[in-house]
C-alpha cells in the first residue's frame, strides 16, 4: 500500500468516533482520513453492486460517488503533506502563520461539506468553524503580502497585489483616471437621451 493510502481500512470507519475540536489539526487530520476511507468504501459498494457491470458503473457514478471519493482523498493528501512540511520549519513565528493558514483551509472545507460533517461534529462546532474562519481571516490580514511574496514569481506578475504599499483601490482609481477620454461622454449619449424623452 502506498503511504498516501495508509488511511484505508478493511471496513468502513465509525465516523462518530472522529468527533474532534475544530482547532486541533491532528484531530482534524484523523477526521479527514476517516472521511476518505468512508468514501472509498461507499464508492466500492456502488461500483461492485453488480460485478458484471463495473465499467458501466464507473461511467454512471463517476460524477458523484467517485468524485466525492477523489475529493476526500485529495483533501487528506493536502492536509498530510502540509502538516509534514510545517513540522520541519524551525521558525516558530512562521509555523504559527502556516498553521493558521492550514486551519483556515481545513475549516473552510468542513463548512463547504457541512452536510457530511454536521452529523459527526454537530451544528455547534460547524457554527464555531464559521466564526473561526472570520477570525483567522482577520489574523492573517497582516500576513497577506508576505504569503503572496512566498511564491517565486516576479513582482509584475502579481499585478496590483504585488505592490508593497497595498494601496490597491487607489492604484486602480489612478489607472482609470489616467486612461485617455475616460471622463468624456460617449458620442451616442445624446441619442439615448433623446429616445428616452420620447
Which stretch, 15-29, 44-58, 155-169, has highest mean pLDDT?
15-29
Confidence of residue 161 (pLDDT cuts 50, 70, 90): low
- Contacts of the segment 168-175: beta carbons below 8 A, 24+ positions apart: none
Q: How many domains in the chain?
A: 1
- For residue 177, being part of any structural domain is answered with no
- For residue 45, being part of any structural domain is answered with yes
- The single-letter DSSP state of residue 64 is I
- For residue 182, being part of any structural domain is answered with no
Query: What are the helix (H) ranges across the chain?
Result: 25-47, 54-61, 67-87, 92-112, 114-121, 123-140, 144-150, 168-178, 189-197
Does residue 6 surpass a pLDDT of 80?
no
- CATH number of domain containing 138: 1.20.140.10
- For residue 43, being part of any structural domain is answered with yes
- For residue 150, being part of any structural domain is answered with yes
Q: What is the pLDDT of residues 100-154, one digit of tens each?
A: 999 999 999 999 999 999 999 999 999 999 999 999 999 998 887 777 777 666 6
- For residue 174, being part of any structural domain is answered with no
What domain range includes position 62? 3-160
Sorted by sequence, the CB contacts under 8 Å of residue 7 that are 6+ apart come out as 33, 34, 36, 37, 76
- For residue 170, being part of any structural domain is answered with no
Confidence of residue 156 (pLDDT cuts 50, 70, 90): low
Given a contact cutoff of 8 angstroms between Cβ atoms, the answer to whether 140 and 101 are in contact is yes
Q: What is the pLDDT of residues 44-99, one digit of tens each?
A: 887 777 777 777 777 777 767 778 888 999 999 999 999 999 999 999 999 999 99
More confident residue, 164 or 43: 43
Provide the terminal-to-terminal Cα distance of the chain, rounded to the nearest Å.
Answer: 77
pTM for the whole thing? 0.70
Q: Which residue has the cell 503572496?
A: 148
- For residue 30, being part of any structural domain is answered with yes
DSSP string for residues in 134-175: HHHHHHHGGGHHHHHHHS---GGGGGGGG-TT--HHHHHHHH
pLDDT of amino acid 195 = 54
Amino acid at each position: 500500500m502506498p503511504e498516501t493510502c495508509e488511511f484505508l481500512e478493511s471496513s468502513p470507519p465509525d465516523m462518530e468516533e472522529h468527533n474532534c475540536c475544530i482547532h486541533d489539526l491532528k484531530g482534524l487530520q484523523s477526521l479527514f482520513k476517516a472521511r476518505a476511507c468512508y468514501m472509498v468504501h461507499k464508492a466500492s459498494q456502488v461500483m461492485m453492486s453488480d460485478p458484471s457491470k463495473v465499467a458501466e458503473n464507473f461511467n454512471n457514478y463517476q460524477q458523484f460517488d467517485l468524485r466525492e471519493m477523489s475529493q476526500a482523498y485529495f483533501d487528506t493528501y493536502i492536509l498530510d503533506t502540509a502538516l509534514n512540511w510545517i513540522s520541519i520549519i524551525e521558525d516558530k513565528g512562521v509555523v504559527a502563520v502556516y498553521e493558521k493558514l492550514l486551519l483556515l483551509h481545513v475549516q473552510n472545507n468542513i463548512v463547504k461539506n457541512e452536510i457530511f460533517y454536521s452529523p459527526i461534529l454537530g451544528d455547534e462546532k460547524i457554527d464555531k468553524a464559521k466564526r473561526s474562519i472570520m477570525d483567522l481571516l482577520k489574523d492573517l490580514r497582516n500576513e497577506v503580502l508576505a504569503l503572496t511574496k512566498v511564491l517565486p514569481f516576479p513582482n509584475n506578475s502579481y499585478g496590483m497585489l504585488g505592490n508593497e504599499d497595498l494601496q490597491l483601490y487607489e492604484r486602480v482609481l489612478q489607472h482609470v483616471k489616467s486612461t485617455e477620454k475616460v471622463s468624456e461622454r460617449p458620442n451616442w449619449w445624446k441619442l439615448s437621451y433623446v429616445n428616452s424623452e420620447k
